A and B are shown apart, each in its own frame.
Chain A
Amino acid sequence: MSWNTVLPMIVFLLIVFAVGFWAGKFVSQTDSFLQEYFLGSRAMGGFLLAMTMMATYGSASSFIGGPGVAYSTGLGWVLLSMAQLPAGYFVLMVLGKKFAIMARQYKAVTLIDFLKSHYNSDRVGILAALSIIIFLFSSIAAQWVGGARLIESLLGISYTTALIIFALSVMIYVVIGGFRAVAITDTILGSVMFFGTLILLTAVIIAGGGVGNIMERLIETDPDLVRPFGADGELTPLYVSSYWILVGVGVVGLPQIAVRAMSYKNAKAMHQAIIISTVFVGIIMLGMHLVGVFARAIIPDIQIGDSVMPVTTMEVLPPVLAGIVLAAPMAAIMSTVNALLIMVSSAIVKDIYLSYINRNADDQKIRRVSYRVTALLGVAVFIMALSPPDFLIWLNLFSFGGLEAAFIWPVVLGLYWRKGNKYGAVYSMFAGTGSYILLHTFYPDAFGMHTVVIPVILSFLTFVSVSLLTERKAAQEPLRKIS
């Protein structure tokens, strides 16, 4: 790869660094460290909110994995990817204003905080904290492996060197700048993702001689590529529709997304963010997956799915532009990882350390602990990612659907259903995550739907029935904790 390609990526990393240090200033000047470091002092405007939601949501799979699958399955996979469109508006609308108001009353900084105060239960808190720490830790490690592999293949350096570059570039600004640095860098990373998609899509269409031409060539290769059922007919309508739960509405239950829905400044910011994130998520998902399909008509013999996007980029774009576009998947991975890192760190500091180990820590002490925990986490992930243990990879398989099944109902029904109580919450978390792991192991894609569907239904039934059964018992206990 030529220097012309590498240069834009280096410039891009430097800008991200600079932002991290700049955000670090806010952290050092604040008088409420926790609120600033883990939530950016609830000061986010609409554009920032939209970009950080979109960038956190869009990960390696949107830019590398997804286009690779689209390359071999055809337009049916693009259709499936459009199930992600609701993630742009649904989360903010459903959690919405009630979540924002209640989170402020509870003075909640994390999703766990919110659940703990809302159900007035330490058990809910500790359970939520543990599942977040375990699942998200493993998915950070998996994303790091992805990021390092990408650098490795692009720059032709060793995996270890690539991992060091990647780890350092993420950790430094997250440790120093906290949530605000994450949100602001997400805005830059999100823009890179957006424009990268547009540039690449345009270039691919031109290289293929227009959409009509590309479609003709695809039909020559295999007419099923332009039908909605996948090249082998594996994409049944039921299966594709079940993705609406996994990547569409279920996203409400992802802690790293939900926490963003309590970090914005006011209702106006929320309204703006809904509009911007819908349009951006839609264009990026549609664009990147289309690139994968179109690539099939231009370079028909790519063997490895994950290399479709990088290979196509270098084929159809001049070096400097290729560098900018290749920064997009890097940006997607970084912006997912940074959000997870600060999320896990907040779970450890706020929900374990401050709740159970040292309840009376002063601001200075919290500050030191937070920096240290975030940095140590980074180091731990780094060591794990050097040679990822099988157990970690196994855990990561559940991190998306497992967390959704655990949190969706305690959060959503907690907001809107008066009778929901802590017993319902605890049991539905067990039922959701437990059944997800069991189903995934013994009966994946049950009844022709993605594995996530049944656990989400089970955790709903558990939440409602247990809450109703324990209604009397719960009524005798003190209600919510408003600090």
Chain B
Amino acid sequence: MKDRMFSDDPRFKVAKREAWIGVGLVIINFLWWFGFAYGLGSREAEEYKYILGFPDWFFFSCILGLVWMSALVIFTVKVFFKEVPFDDEE
């Protein structure tokens, strides 16, 4: 018996690709967040530069991180995500 849930339905290929894109985005998100927070943040407080009033590590990691991830998510969805029907025509 053939398993319909793992058939070569082209919609499943789309779904799989998009799931991997999700994983990729989380990895990018994490690296950005971690890199700036602990890369810049490990200095003493008096060595920080301040951007818009925020310590530089926080500004890059959290504030710019949010802006940049939102932009990346919007771009990814608009460019790489395909619309497929969910119901079967049977």
A249 contacts B26, C-beta separation under 8 Å? yes
Known: A89-B25, A90-B25, A248-B26. A82 touches B50 (CB 8 A): no
CB distance from A1 to the nearest CB of B (A): 32
A83 contacts across to B, CB distance below 8 A:
33
B84 contacts A97, C-beta separation under 8 Å? yes
In Å, the complex CA distance between A83 and B76 comes to 20
Q: Which of A224-255 contact B (CB under 8 A)?
A: 224, 226-229, 237, 241, 244, 248-249
Known: A93-B19, A97-B84, A215-B50. A228 touches B66 (CB 8 A): no
Known: A267-B82, A479-B1. A96 touches B19 (CB 8 A): yes
> Interface code B57-69, partner A: CB below 8 Å = 1, 0 otherwise?
1100111011001
Selected from A98, A104, A226, A274, the residue in CB contact (under 8 A) with B19 is A98
CB distance from B58 to the nearest CB of A (A): 5
B53 contacts A211, C-beta separation under 8 Å? yes
B29 contacts A79, C-beta separation under 8 Å? no
A78 within 8 Å of B (CB atoms):
yes
A224 contacts across to B, CB distance below 8 A:
45
A104 contacts B87, C-beta separation under 8 Å? yes
B52 contacts A480, C-beta separation under 8 Å? no
Q: Decide if the interface of chain A is mainly helix, strand, loop or mixed.
A: helix
A215 contacts B54, C-beta separation under 8 Å? yes
Q: Which of A79-100 contact B (CB under 8 A)?
A: 79, 82-83, 85-86, 88-90, 93-94, 96-98, 100
A85 contacts B81, C-beta separation under 8 Å? no
A175 within 8 Å of B (CB atoms):
no
B21 contacts A93, C-beta separation under 8 Å? yes
Selected from B11, B12, B29, B77, the residue in CB contact (under 8 A) with A274 is B77
Selected from A118, A228, A286, the residue in CB contact (under 8 A) with B5 is A118
Selected from B1, B11, B22, B42, the residue in CB contact (under 8 A) with A89 is B22
B53 contacts A212, C-beta separation under 8 Å? yes
CB distance from A421 to the nearest CB of B (A): 11
Known: A97-B86, A215-B55, A226-B45. A282 touches B15 (CB 8 A): no
Known: A96-B22, A226-B55, A275-B73. A480 touches B45 (CB 8 A): no
In Å, the complex CA distance between A248 and B69 comes to 14
A229 contacts across to B, CB distance below 8 A:
41
A228 contacts B53, C-beta separation under 8 Å? no
A79 contacts B74, C-beta separation under 8 Å? no
Interface size class of B (residues with CB under 8 A): 35 or more
Selected from B5, B37, B70, B73, the residue in CB contact (under 8 A) with A79 is B37
In Å, the complex CA distance between A97 and B87 comes to 11
A418 contacts B16, C-beta separation under 8 Å? no
In Å, the complex CA distance between A416 and B18 comes to 12
A156 within 8 Å of B (CB atoms):
no
B50 contacts across to A, CB distance below 8 A:
212, 215
In Å, the complex CA distance between A12 and B87 comes to 38
A75 within 8 Å of B (CB atoms):
yes
CB distance from A475 to the nearest CB of B (A): 10
Known: A97-B86, A226-B48, A228-B41. A86 touches B4 (CB 8 A): no
Selected from B15, B26, B57, the residue in CB contact (under 8 A) with A86 is B26
Selected from B3, B14, B38, B62, the residue in CB contact (under 8 A) with A97 is B14
Selected from A78, A98, A479, the residue in CB contact (under 8 A) with B58 is A78
B29 contacts across to A, CB distance below 8 A:
85-86
A82 contacts B22, C-beta separation under 8 Å? no
Q: Which of B70-90 contact A (CB under 8 A)?
A: 70, 73-74, 77-78, 81-88
Selected from B21, B37, B54, B84, the residue in CB contact (under 8 A) with A267 is B84
Known: A227-B45, A274-B73. A94 touches B55 (CB 8 A): no
Closest chain B residue to A42 by CB distance?
B86
Closest chain B residue to A265 by CB distance?
B86
Known: A215-B53, A416-B19. A278 touches B45 (CB 8 A): no
B3 contacts A418, C-beta separation under 8 Å? yes
Known: A93-B19, A278-B73. A482 touches B83 (CB 8 A): no
B15 contacts A210, C-beta separation under 8 Å? no
B53 contacts across to A, CB distance below 8 A:
210-215
B46 within 8 Å of A (CB atoms):
yes
Known: A267-B83, A282-B70, A286-B66. A223 touches B4 (CB 8 A): no
Selected from A215, A266, A480, the residue in CB contact (under 8 A) with B4 is A480
30 contacts between A and B (CB under 8 A): A82-B62, A82-B66, A85-B66, A86-B29, A89-B22, A93-B18, A94-B19, A94-B22, A97-B18, A98-B16, A100-B86, A101-B15, A102-B5, A212-B50, A215-B53, A226-B55, A226-B58, A227-B45, A228-B37, A228-B41, A237-B34, A244-B26, A268-B83, A275-B73, A275-B74, A415-B19, A480-B3, A480-B4, A480-B5, A482-B4
Known: A219-B45, A223-B46. 15 other contacts (CB 8 A): A75-B55, A85-B66, A88-B73, A93-B22, A98-B12, A102-B5, A211-B52, A228-B57, A241-B34, A267-B83, A271-B78, A271-B83, A275-B70, A282-B70, A418-B6
Nearest first, the 7 closest Cβ-Cβ pairs linking A and B are: A211-B53, A93-B22, A223-B45, A98-B15, A212-B53, A228-B41, A97-B15
